[in-house]
Structure 1
Amino acid sequence: MATNKILLVDDEPAFRELAGRWLTRQDYEVQGAGTLDEARAVLASFDADLVLLDLSMPPHFDPQLTLESMADFEGRPVIIITGNADRELALKAVSLGAWDFIAKPIDPDMLAVVVRRAITKTTLEREISQLKQSTQQPTGAASYLGLSPNAQKVRALIERIAPTNVRVLVTGPSGTGKEVISRALHDASLRANHAFISVHCGAIPAELLESELFGYVKGAFTGAEKDKVGLLALADKGTLFLDEIGEMPLPMQVKLLRVLQEGTFFPVGGREQKHIDVRVISATNADLVEKVRDGSFREDLYYRIKGVNIETQALAERLEDVPILLQAFLQRLQSQQSKVLQLTAEAMQWFRRQQWPGNVRELKNTLDSVVSICPQGRITLEDIQLLYPDASAQQSMEQLATANSLLPDDKTLEEQVRELEIRLIRQALDASDDNRSQAARQLGLSRQGLLKKIERYGL
């Protein structure tokens, strides 16, 4: 994981040295600047993710000029460093676009919280930017989205084998995009101008699967009043996708084996042999090796369909792909609904924290549900809580763990409890955009109880 970069702009060399050392120990890369001109020069070669900016800078020591300089930092989050006497100016800085402010003398633990939140915002925005670039091509290898090693490996395999006629077996858990991969292989192949026919082997009753695949002739059975072309014939010169092939009955496996070996078949009730030129791509979430062992899947068929094996991962194993997938789904929903859709940072973090046992399919369905109750298009954590009440509890537990990890061991229990409450209250207020009723619900307090704590701690 790349180290995040911080530009520390302060005219006091001793503060720059001490704060820089402390931030470096927190695994950040830090560059200092003693003037605003120096800060601009540093940014030319140092791509900072975050700027810590003292409110009073030489040569004029005019806070208003410092606030105007925020435009020079090109959209990076800016945390204002100020003295207690400049609180009103600091609040003005926030209203003008600063991420947050922190007063000297600086509490290192509080600085860690503020910096971490700002860095998280930057990271999410960068991922969304990468996502927009990665979704420019909706077909071929680019249609399998993600930045994870598995997603990159899958795309590389698609690019290499799509132009060939090699058979492909796509394996992995349900809902991980096996059909997306199969369509991508077809779209990037020399067969792209012909049909892509998808058959779910478990969704068609065993007694009907043969006639669906091979077709039938008039009079083949009761009700066969005219000839019917099967899916195999429709896929001629194109691609046949056999989804969940592990559920195909054994008698049908024998007949499919003949198609793969000889490229021929007979329609049900027919005597005229048909020739077929089709690429077969199969997919399953079952362990076909185990099914071969127990006799429910033919070994010869297994080796026929397994030319190249592409394996997909559960979404929980590649959570870094969640923002990419969400933005792609949002873009599709935007085009359908003709309105701008946006996830707040807190909502995005909630999506990233889930384990998604239903994988990409569950992720998409969850997003669809949340979007349906957001008529304005801005999706917040509060919206998610309407459908998933445990969202606030999960966030509070994470905040508690984070706050606990920041508490020093050399303070009394009373002092630690006080600091813990202050941190949790500030985080809840920040996450709710200072909506005190919402913050109180998140913390499990009454609104009046929260107001009393705010007054007691001077927040």
Structure 2
Amino acid sequence: MLAKGKDATAKVLIVDDEPAFRLLAERFLQQQGYQVVSTASVEEAQQQLGQFDADLILLDLALPPHFDPQHTLNLVPQLASRPVIILTGHAERDLALKAISQGAWDFIAKPIDPDLLAVVVKRAVTKHQLEKELLQLRQATPVSSPLPSLAGHSAHMESIHTLVQRIAPTEVRVLVTGPSGTGKEVISKALHQLSNRADKAFVSVHCGAIPAELLESELFGYVKGAFTGADKDRQGLLKLADGGTLFLDEIGEMPLPMQVKLLRVLQEGSYYPVGGREMQHIDIRLVSATNANLPDLVRQGKFREDLYYRIKGVTMETVALDQRREDIPLLIRFFLEQLKEQQGQAFALETGAMQWFLQKQWPGNVRELKNTLESVAAIAQQGVIRLSDIQLLHLDSQGGGADTEVVDSALLGGLDEQVKALEIRLIQQALQQHGGNKSQAARTLGISRQGLLKKLERYGLSHSSADD
């Protein structure tokens, strides 16, 4: 049965097997201005959701045909792409708390106080509508970058964008420094793609990944018979980069003997292949990267000072992702677009999953963020990445700390200490204002009484205050 309210904008789906309750709840919420659909089972509710895009679900735990609260509880993550409010008896309080840990918004005990229902529903609906608007804004926000791969609008990334645009058309050598996983190679590719060499090769060499005894032959190539196994001439990576850009990643790990030979290449623009006598001439633009402190390595005698000054030209520094967390939504959007191109499948994050990504610490920086997103997308159903997918892969337990704890929507994704202290203070003030009456304090805070009790338990606050 569909009941149209006087302000038919927000939609509520009631799932309860008690006809009298459904009728009363429908009429009450109709008077509050909602569109309402009611069903008697989860199966009916799932059918209705295909036609009725609910902003909120009121869900009873004991439903036919099983009448098993645990069975209904297992379905909460599937429904949690919008707020779910659990309707429960006092005996099912522990299960209701578990439902919240699995993504439900809140729970209300029967018999239900209409005023409390109105407050909780209004807050949940407002939350869902704001989240939809925020998602639309995120999707409409262009990636502010000379190249999409340089996703970010933080002050740091804006300076990177400006510097890349200014120096890309020049021939100046560039040294990119910063922690691992922060996008040093991405910046190097952007420099190449915006340069006058963009139609030539971009050759990437990881100096620490190639054994020292092989690095020379990989870079310079070799002639037939130069060593055992050299059964034919082989062109080196330097020659492949001729006319384009050579990217030397982790140049701080290059052995000292190779540093001498690279210095000669940069000075003279020429070299001899291993075992060869015919000089090779090349024209390359060099971009280097390292997560090491090269001046320290110079002082320790592990890196040549003359080579350091040859490669540094313009130095660009990347920072850890935690220092530019405002870029995370744009990075997520960029990586999801990449997945769409690779797999032909569009992906989106439900709000709970997005909040988890925003709150998590990323010691592996952008590389870790990208790999985590790809892992979760691999098991996502119908292109929607949910918090339950993260939990299924046990990713919420990695990284440690409150940043990955899953609690109710006000705390979803974890709280840092400042936010936690603020919420404790607000709870204490509300209790003091109402002489310890938890029901009145909960209304002031805009949460249910049960929600307040849960927070008191979580923060270790006393339950001995006066009650209603």
Output the TM-score relative to the length of structure 2. Answer: 0.66
For 2:287, the equivalent position in structure 1 comes to 281
Question: Retained in 1: the 8 A contact 2:151–2:331?
Answer: yes
1:234 maps to a residue whose letter is L
The aligned counterpart of 1:218 is: 224
Bigger Cα displacement from structure 2, 304-313 vs 417-426? 417-426
TM-fit CA distance, 1:87: 3.0
Equivalent in 222, 226, 236 of residue 230 of structure 1: 236
* Number of the residue aligned with 2:426: 406
- Contact preservation (8 Å) 1:186, 1:196: yes
Equivalent position to 2:167, from 161, 169, 178: 161
Residue 67 of structure 1: SS of its match in structure 2? Answer: coil
- In the alignment, the residues of structure 1 paired with residue 55 and residue 306 of structure 2 have an alpha-carbon distance, to the nearest angstrom, of 63
Q: 1:169 is matched by which residue type in structure 2?
A: L
2:379 corresponds to which of 373, 376, 393: 373
Name the residue aligned to 1:67: 8
Q: Does residue 139 of structure 2 align to residue 134 of structure 1?
A: no
Determine the C-alpha separation between the residues in 2 that align with 1:106 and 1:207.
73
In 2, the alpha carbon distance for the partners of 1:107 and 1:411 equals 21
Change (3 A) 1:334 1:185: same
Tell me: CA distance 1:105–1:323, structure 2 relative to 1, closer, same or farther (3 Å). Answer: same
Offset at residue 122 of structure 1 (A): 3.7
Contact 2:184/2:318 (CA < 8 Å) preserved in 1?
yes
Correspondence for 1:385: 391
Counterpart of 1:143 in 2: which secondary structure?
Answer: coil
CA distance in 1 between partners of 2:392 and 2:385 (Å): 11
The answer to whether the Cα contact below 8 Å between 1:141 and 1:159 also exists between their aligned partners in 2 is: no
Q: Deviations over 1:181-214 (max 9, x none)?
A: 1111111111111111110000000011001001
**What amino acid is aligned across from residue 415 of structure 1 in structure 2?**
K
- Separation (CA, whole Å) in 2 of partners of 1:118 and 1:413: 33
Greater RCO, 1 or 2 (C-alpha within 8 Å, sep 6+): 2
Using the TM superposition, give the Cα deviation of residue 291 of structure 1 relative to its aligned residue in structure 2, in angstroms: 0.8
Shift of 1:98: 9.1
1:258 equivalent in alignment to 2:264: yes
The 1:245–1:69 alpha-carbon spacing in structure 2 relative to 1, beyond 3 Å, is: closer
Q: Name the SS for the 2:353 alignment partner.
A: helix
Aligned to 1:200: 206
* SS, match of residue 392 in structure 2: helix
Q: 1:301 aligns with which of 294, 307, 329?
A: 307
1:239 to 1:423, Cα distance in 2 relative to 1, 3 A: farther
Look up the match of 2:333.
Answer: 327
Q: Which amino acid aligns with 2:273?
A: P
Correspondence 1:188 to 2:194: yes
Worse overlay, 389-398 or 279-288: 389-398
Aligned residue for 1:340, secondary structure, equals coil
Contact 1:403 1:423 (C-alpha < 8 Å) held by counterparts: no
Match of 1:89 in 2: 31
Maintained 8 Å contact 1:128/1:324? no
Letter in 1 for 2:433: D
Q: Aligned AA for 1:289?
A: P
Q: Structure 1 stretches of 5 or more lacking a match?
A: 1-62, 71-83, 428-439, 445-455
Letter in structure 2 aligned against 1:134: V
Q: In the alignment, which residue of structure 2 is the partner of 1:362?
A: 368
Measure how far apart 1:153 and its partner are: 1.0
Contiguous gaps of at least 5 residues in structure 2: 12-25, 38-51, 57-82, 84-113, 398-403, 459-466
Give distance in 2, aligned partners of 1:213 and 1:411.
76
Report how far residue 121 of structure 1 moved. Answer: 5.3
Which has the larger share of helix? 1
Deviation at 1:120, TM superposition (A): 5.6
Opposite residue 342 of structure 2, the aligned amino acid is Q
- SS of structure 1 residue aligned to 2:362: coil
Aligned match of 1:315 = 321
Secondary structure of residue in 2 paired with 1:134:
coil
* Alpha carbons 2:224, 2:233 under 8 Å: kept: yes
Equivalent residue letter for 1:157: L
1:415 maps to 2:438? yes
Check 1:68–1:222 CA distance in 2 against 1; reply closer, same or farther (3 A cut): closer
Q: Distance in 1 between matches of 2:220 and 2:280?
A: 9
User: Does structure 2 conserve the Cα–Cα contact (< 8 Å) formed by 1:109 and 1:406?
Assistant: no
Do the aligned partners of residues 314 and 296 (structure 1) sit closer, same or farther apart at CA in structure 2, a change above 3 Å counting? same
* Residues in 1 aligned to 2:288 and 2:449: alpha-carbon distance in whole angstroms: 51
Kindly tell me: are residues 198 and 378 of structure 1, through their superposed partners in 2, closer, same or farther at Cα, counting changes over 3 Å?
Answer: same
Offset of 1:280 from its aligned partner?
Answer: 0.5
Matches within 5 A, 1:8-47: none
Across the two proteins, how many residue pairs are aligned to each other? 352
